[in-house]
Amino acid sequence: MAETRTKASVALLVPPMRSRKEDEVRRSASSEVTAAVDAAPEVPEIPEVPAVAGPAWRAGAVDDELIALYPDAVCALDHDGPFQLLVATVLSAQTTDARVNTVTPELFGRYPDATALGAARREDLEAILRPLGFQRAKAGHLLGIGQALTERFEGRVPRSREELVSLPGVGRKTANVVLGNAFGKPAITVDTHVGRLSRRLGWTMSKDPLRVEKDIAALWEPWRWTDGCHRLIEHGRRVCSARSPRCGECALLEAGLCPQAGV
């Protein structure tokens, strides 16, 4: 009796034998499933989308909006050629472009080229430049520029930043103005307007002009650099002023391109 129960228990533990046909059916079904899984297209990885678009995304769109607003934005300094632009830009320090434009007609009428400017009497230059302020320093710069251009560059304005900044009174900002507007070389001019708007737009956190220039260059294609700065300057003068920005009139804010309001 016990032997009978033991055999019955063993029978329960041993799985029933399958026929060869059943094994073939199972293997075929398993192969079909595996093939279907292998043939299924891979699901592409979905990139993470930032909750708020960063400055790199907005920078080009900002300039596109400004192109529509200020299609004719250009350098505000009246000039005819590289020499006049160089001189006018040096004179624009600590004053407005509009005020510079009031004195340059007389200045260039009396001193039309580098040779004439380098030979001018300091007292005469100071008298012409007095409305701009800092006339003594500016007269000294102009005399030095005229003489340097005559002696070192055959009276012509050099076309490289390194040579331009070697001239008296010429820094990187002035050099970039000349390169971009007189010679058509992409250059970023960081004045008070460009610096202020760049910080408000979130493009930079720096007040150092060179750092701001590099931050803008990292966001904008070179073809935007020169005229894009003119457009920023125009918007800074008309709308995004330093003390009381007119955010209610700002197309950038309306378009969702400015991260700040009432700054």
CA dist 177 → 88, 126, 180, 186, 225 (Å): 10, 24, 5, 10, 11
Tell me the residue type at 175: A
Longest dimension (CA), the chain: 137
Tokens of 67: 């192109």
Look-up: residue for tokens 């059943």?
22
Please spell the DSSP secondary structure of 76-101, one letter per residue.
-S--SSHHHHHHHHHHTTTS-HHHHH
Concerning whether 97 is annotated as a catalytic residue, the answer is no
Rg for the chain, CA atoms, rounded: 36
Catalytic option among 78, 97, 113, 191: 191
Q: Which of 171, 242, 252 is nearest to 209 (CA)?
A: 171
Q: Residue-wise over 22-32: b if at least 16 C-beta within 10 A, else e?
A: eeeeeeeeeee
Q: How far apart are the first and last CA of the chain?
A: 98
Concerning whether 63 is annotated as a catalytic residue, the answer is no
Look-up: residue for tokens 């076309």?
159
Decide: residue 45, CB within 10 A, 0-12 exposed, 13-18 middle, 19+ buried.
exposed
Catalytic option among 173, 207, 208, 227: 173
Residues recognised as catalytic:
173, 191
